[in-house]
Structures are given as C-alpha cells and as structure tokens.
C-alpha cells in the first residue's frame, strides 16, 4: 500500500458506539466510497482475537479501495492482521521503539500535543503525527485544546505530515485553513451521522477546499 501525504486528507477513525446496530463493515465501505483517504480501526474492551478478526475484515475493504488501513494502539494486532500500519500514543515514544518492532515497511503514526513531542515522534520514526485536540471532542473527554496558531508551530517544527484531530466537523474545518496540516481525522463527524456516505462526501469537499 503506497502511503503519501495525500493519504491523510480525510482520515476516518472507527467507533462502534456511534453506529448502533449498523454493520461496521458496511459503514466503512460507504465512507471509503464517498472519499475517505485513510481508515483507522479503534477498538476498546474487546479480546485480542476479536480485534484481529475485525481488523482483517476492514483491511480487506480498505485494500479494495486502495486506502491505507491503520490499527489504533495495538502493535500485535496490526502485525497479526496485516494492517498497513499502527497509530500509537505519545507515551510510546518513550516506552518502546515501535519502529523497530513493526519494521520499515509499516506506517507509523503517533499522537502528540506539543512541539517537543512532535520532534521526538519524528526522531522515533513516525511517518505522520496526529495533533490535537483542535476542539472539544465527544470521544476524547477532557483533552487539551490546542490553538490553530500552536498547531501551525507544530507543523513548522517537523518535516513529516500532520493530521489535526479532536472535535473536527463540517462547521469548524474552515478555521484550519493555512495552518500547514495535511488533513483531518474524524470519528463522530462521520460515524455519528445517520448517513455516513453523505457526511463523508461533505467533509471531503470541505477538506479539498480548505486544507
């Protein structure tokens, strides 16, 4: 799977709590058809085997649309499922050498909320960093809110692409114009909508216009 800066334009992250009884696989396929450029599976409180099984299922759909498939916060699942990469938290910069574990061919994303951690993530071999929260997020609780000016400073401090995350939706994407990000990562702005295809299509148009 070829990974480029363009792959990060509209980075969609799964969350089963938003879709009720709907099929995650079907919802993922809808969002990929409508313009999502990257997909991350984010699962909490499920077994290893179930996480691997769900990851394999979604990876196959992503392969169909030539979209990178990333596993959140579980290196073992990412490797076992044949995912294109893994996304980890900023604590993993200090606690383990993720790049050496996953090898040079896998995509590595790391979440950060400061210039210092952004620089550390790049040195640790990250292919991209996720920066936020940008706004209050229904999925991130009491996350630290970063100003667009500070996000711009983070972008200028590293040579790898930056994805903005946290509370991003149709209404606030315009505030991200010109700050240097490669794309936006969303959860509820897609999976919190009844029509994920329409939501994705609208977001992609906005991203293409402002980012």
| CATH number (domain holding residue 94) | 3.20.20.70
The yes-or-no answer on residue 104 being catalytic is no
Does the annotation flag 174 for ligand binding?
no
Residues shown for the chain = 211
The yes-or-no answer on residue 159 being catalytic is no
Does the annotation flag 41 for ligand binding?
yes
Rounded to 5 degrees, what angle do the CA atoms 72, 104, 181 make? 55
Question: Phi/psi class of residue 70: alpha, beta or left (left: φ > 0; alpha: ψ in -120 to 50)?
Answer: beta
Does residue 63 carry a pLDDT above 70? Answer: yes
- For residue range 117-176, what is the model confidence (pLDDT) as tens digits? 999 999 999 999 999 999 866 665 556 899 999 999 999 999 999 999 999 999 999 999
pTM, entire model: 0.95
Query: Among residues 111, 133, 193, 202, which one is catalytic?
Result: 111
Give the model's pLDDT for residue 158.
98
Rounded Cα distance, 118 and 111, in Å: 8
Domain hosting 178: range is: 5-210
Q: How many domains does the chain have?
A: 1
pLDDT, averaged across the chain: 94
The yes-or-no answer on residue 42 being catalytic is yes
Does the annotation flag 140 for ligand binding?
yes
Does the annotation flag 73 for ligand binding?
yes
Query: Among residues 16, 33, 99, 140, which one is catalytic?
Result: 140
């Amino acid at each position: 799977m070829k990974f480029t800066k363009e792959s990060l334009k509209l980075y969609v992250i799964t969350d089963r709590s938003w879709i009720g009884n709907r099929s995650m696989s079907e919802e993922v396929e809808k969002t990929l058809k409508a313009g999502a450029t990257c997909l991350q599976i984010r699962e909490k409180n499920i077994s290893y085997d179930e996480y691997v099984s769900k990851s394999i299922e979604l990876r196959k759909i992503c392969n169909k649309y030539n979209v990178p498939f990333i596993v959140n916060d579980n290196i073992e699942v990412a490797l076992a499922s044949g995912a294109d990469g893994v996304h980890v938290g900023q604590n993993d910069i200090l606690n383990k050498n993720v790049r050496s574990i996953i090898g040079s061919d896998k995509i590595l994303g790391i979440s950060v909320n400061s210039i210092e951690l952004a620089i550390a993530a790049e040195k640790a071999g990250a292919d991209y960093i996720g920066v936020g929260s940008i706004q209050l997020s229904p999925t991130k609780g009491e996350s630290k809110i970063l100003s667009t000016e500070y996000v711009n400073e983070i972008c200028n401090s590293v040579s790898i692409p930056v994805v903005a995350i946290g509370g991003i939706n149709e209404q606030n994407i315009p505030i991200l114009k010109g700050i240097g990000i490669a794309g936006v990562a969303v959860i509820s702005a897609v999976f919190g909508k009844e029509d994920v295809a329409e939501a994705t299509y609208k977001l992609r148009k906005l991203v293409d216009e402002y980012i």
